[in-house]
Structure 1
Amino acid sequence: MASTHVVNDLYQGAIPAMLPLLMSQRHYSYAAVSGLAFAASGVSSLFQPLFGVLSDRKPRSWLVPAGFGTAAFGVVAAGLSGSYLVTWLCVALAGIGIAAYHPPATSEARAAGGSSQKAMSVFSVGGTLGGSLAPTLVTLVIGSMGFASSYLLAVPALVMVVLWVLRGPWMRWRGYTPAASLTTGASAKAAAHDPDRTDDWRSFTRLVAVIIGWSIPFVTVTSMVSLHAQRDLGQPAGAGAAVLTAYTAAGAVGTLLGGWVGDRYGRMTSIRIGYLVALPALLGIAWAPTFPVLVVSTVLFGTAMFLPFSAQVTLAQDYLPNRPGTASGLTLGMAMAAGGLCSPAFGWLADSAGLRTTFYALLAVFIVPALLALRLPDRNVPASPTQSTNSGAEADFARNS
């Protein structure tokens, strides 16, 4: 599952990596590229709750390869298209594919890893690694050979589809049970009478508010930090791609570190530390007078932002134990949509007042979710009978192996 996450988020990261090239080769404005970020992270993310509900009702593992396959097609088509409207529609299609992937994949990863924060961090870091590879891949393919070579970006998805087809029977032979099936049949009836497994919508709503505040600076920094290095600090395009790669790579480190901290000291510790460290790091990005200061601040910000990532996913699923797909869809979809919805506004601000002012405005916005994150309650939901049976089957498989 982590490997599929690498491929899926490779295409999610390819879109912001393409934005500077679109500005230089197709002469798009800040507002235009922010509109593309809106198509990818905003409009597309609104579909994730729908896919979450679908994955809760019935296991639909086919959405995993269909999701990253659609994302690959959208990215390739966006690179080959000529008009802005067609490019926007193709980017939105890629985002819908990404939306289709995340809820079922996250639910299956949670079913496989149980309550372990490290397990969820391994799955999550797959996406972060994919995003960190995207700028380099896009620069090598499009930056060196032009948008006409965009079809080469489809290779990772084609390879993973083949691996998924080969891997599928092995997962079923092991007795693997997707999380979507945990809320059906006898387990659902038992959960309805178990107070420890009731859905806590109030706490979940507060968490969604926190993630909305998290997504706004995350999406905007992802879209604009490379441009910040080039336009404000006079760096070449390669340096801009490097700082974006460093940002997403730092996120991978932060994701794994957050899983370790969550298992050792509690997931609320990783959530609170992440938000408190991210605030001064974002200030450093806005203030950075030189490129090295920008790199250090960006790396620290990426690490801190992803420190609470896996903990937020498992916490959302524990707030809604009877609807893990819905929890994943709403937190990774509807909440993340806020970042894309706000992208055009910050793009217009960047056009009129500059990127530094935009980053300072992000800092002011980010203070609110940081304060809310400090007051989130923890919740540990006991495993369902289906989860226990599945864990026992996997243990038997391990002993027999």
Structure 2
Amino acid sequence: MSAGHACVDVYQGAVAALVPFLVAERSYGYAAASGIVLAASLLSSVVQPLFGVLTDRRPMPWLIPLSTAAAGAGIALVGAAGDYPATVAAVALSGLGVAAYHPAAARLVRTTVGGAGHTAMSWFALGGNIGFACAPLLVVGALSVSGPAGWWLLAFPAALGVFLNIPRPRPAGPAAPGTAGAAAAPSPEDRRAFLRLSLVVIVRSVVFVGLSTFIGLYVRERGGGETAGAVALFALFAGSAGGTLLGGRLASRWGRVTTVRRAYAAAAPAVAGVLFLPLPLVYVCASLAAAALYVPFSLQVTLGQDYLPTRMGTASGVTLGLTVSVGGLASPLIAAAADAASLRTALLPLTLLPLAAWALARRLPEPRAGAEPAPAEAEAEAETTPAA
């Protein structure tokens, strides 16, 4: 499932990586280029809760390979698109595939593993981080091949992902933890805690999206040059991968809510270090800040599923998609503040937002270890697991 996740999320990063090629080859302006990115991001994030609702009503394991194929086909069809509307439509198809994949896949990870599931979810999230980070390499490598063949090479990860994500019968044997015991009733919903958790995820998203968008420019403004900006961005992404895995381990020791609180408390000084420490230490602080912001990432998904145990798909769609999209809307505000004052001034609120997330997380309850999925849903989804 983690490898399959990488094969899907590579297409989230591929859209931004394709923009320079489209601007150069098709003479798109900045507004047209931003429209392409917007089409992908809105569909891949905002529509996710709708697919979550669908998977809650009826388990659809076949949606996982189908959505993987759609994500890859959409990006490959960008090369065949003759005009701007066709290009937007192709990118939208890819975004729709990404949106359909995440709630169904995250839900299946949880119901298959059973229990708290934070370690499994951290590996699943790590796959997505790796895929996103590899997207620029895929685009540059594929489009170095001239002609239509280069564009169709972009579909290769999707072909691999379809194979990894095809549902296959589970071998006979002991039932997976959390899927046996069909008599176990799911925990009651805690909508207030889920709403508070959603606010925490939005705040976290504003901080990370703000850093990832502007850290390269900020380092260059401080005299680091383009290479230094790229190194800072790499440190940020490397820290996010490490934090994703670390979150599952820390949650096993401290519990999920405690880990989330401590991570946000640690993120505040790390973000401040990015803005105020000398340039060589900025790389260290960027990596530490990303790690602290990504420690809660997979834990927040499983917490949301436990707060809405009868609607795990909806919870996954909100925590993985909608709240991330809403958090990204802050980037234009940061840019406007940077134009009006300075980039450092515009980024200063990011040092306080982790403390706001910490304050919100203090009132989050710790669900009982591993809320069980609804019995009928567990049995339906336990019959098949994707090959990995």
TM-score category by the smaller chain?
0.7 to 0.9
Q: 1:5 to 1:163 in 2, by over 3 A?
A: closer
Give the CA deviation at 1:329.
Answer: 1.2
Matched with 2:362 is 374
CA contact (8 A) 2:15 2:91 kept: yes
Q: 1:305 to 1:85 in 2, by over 3 A?
A: farther
CA contact (8 A) 1:39 1:340 kept: no
Matched with 1:312 is 300
CA contact (8 A) 1:79 1:147 kept: no
Matched with 1:342 is 330
Distance 1:358 1:325 in 2: 36
Give the CA deviation at 1:157.
Answer: 1.0
CA contact (8 A) 1:132 1:249 kept: no
Matched with 2:264 is 275
Instruction: After superposition, give the CA deviation of every residue in 1:94-121 in whole Å (9 maximum; x if it has no partner).
Output: 3322111110100110012222321221
1:197 aligns with 2:187: yes
* 1:298 aligned to which of 286, 292, 303: 286
Q: 1:203 to 1:174 in 2, by over 3 A?
A: same
Aligned with 1:169: secondary structure?
A: strand
Matched with 1:211 is 201
Distance 1:50 1:371 in 2: 30
Distance 2:253 2:146 in 1: 47
* 2:244 aligned to which of 234, 255, 278: 255
Counterpart residue identity of residue 208, structure 1? S
CA contact (8 A) 1:102 1:332 kept: yes
Distance 1:271 1:34 in 2: 34
Distance 1:287 1:91 in 2: 39
Give the CA deviation at 1:50.
Answer: 0.6
Q: Percent identity?
A: 41
Matched with 1:235 is 225
Give the CA deviation at 1:281.
Answer: 2.4
Q: 1:134 to 1:365 in 2, by over 3 A?
A: same
Distance 1:110 1:69 in 2: 23
Distance 1:33 1:210 in 2: 31
Matched with 1:323 is 311
Kindly report the root-mean-square deviation, in angstroms, between the aligned alpha carbons of the 2 structures: 3.8
State TM-score, norm by structure 2.
0.81
CA contact (8 A) 1:313 1:331 kept: yes
Distance 2:330 2:355 in 1: 16
Residue-pair matches, total: 376
State TM-score, norm by structure 1.
0.78
CA contact (8 A) 1:212 1:338 kept: yes
Distance 1:281 1:92 in 2: 36
Distance 1:46 1:269 in 2: 29
* 2:233 aligned to which of 239, 244, 257: 244
Q: 1:77 to 1:177 in 2, by over 3 A?
A: farther
Instruction: After superposition, give the CA deviation of every residue in 1:303-326 in whole Å (9 maximum; x if it has no partner).
Output: 111101121111111111111111
Q: 1:86 to 1:294 in 2, by over 3 A?
A: farther
1:123 aligns with 2:117: no
Matched with 2:213 is 223
Matched with 1:95 is 95
Q: 1:249 to 1:383 in 2, by over 3 A?
A: same
Distance 2:255 2:239 in 1: 22
Give the CA deviation at 1:232.
Answer: 5.7
Distance 1:282 1:34 in 2: 28
Residue segments in structure 1 that go unaligned for 5+ positions in a row: 395-401
Correspondence list, 1:6-155, <5 A: 6-18=6-18, 29=30, 37-78=37-78, 89-114=89-114, 115-141=116-142, 149-155=150-156
Q: 1:276 to 1:39 in 2, by over 3 A?
A: farther
Instruction: After superposition, give the CA deviation of every residue in 1:346-376 in whole Å (9 maximum; x if it has no partner).
Output: 4444555554344324445554323212322
Distance 2:297 2:288 in 1: 15
Q: 1:44 to 1:317 in 2, by over 3 A?
A: same
Counterpart residue identity of residue 201, structure 1? R
Matched with 1:264 is 253
Give the CA deviation at 1:249.
Answer: 2.9
Give the CA deviation at 1:174.
Answer: 7.1
Counterpart residue identity of residue 48, structure 2? Q
Distance 1:117 1:59 in 2: 21
Aligned with 1:98: secondary structure?
A: helix
Q: 1:383 to 1:10 in 2, by over 3 A?
A: same
Counterpart residue identity of residue 105, structure 2? A
Give the CA deviation at 1:38.
Answer: 4.2
Matched with 2:386 is none
Matched with 2:274 is 285
Q: 1:82 to 1:286 in 2, by over 3 A?
A: farther
Distance 1:77 1:349 in 2: 38
Give the CA deviation at 1:132.
Answer: 2.5
Range moving further from structure 2, 298-307 or 20-29: 20-29
CA contact (8 A) 1:20 1:227 kept: no
Q: 1:118 to 1:224 in 2, by over 3 A?
A: same
Counterpart residue identity of residue 270, structure 1? T
Residue segments in structure 2 that go unaligned for 5+ positions in a row: 384-388
| Bigger proportion of residues as helix | 1
Give the CA deviation at 1:267.
Answer: 0.9
Distance 1:84 1:9 in 2: 24
Aligned with 2:47: secondary structure?
A: helix
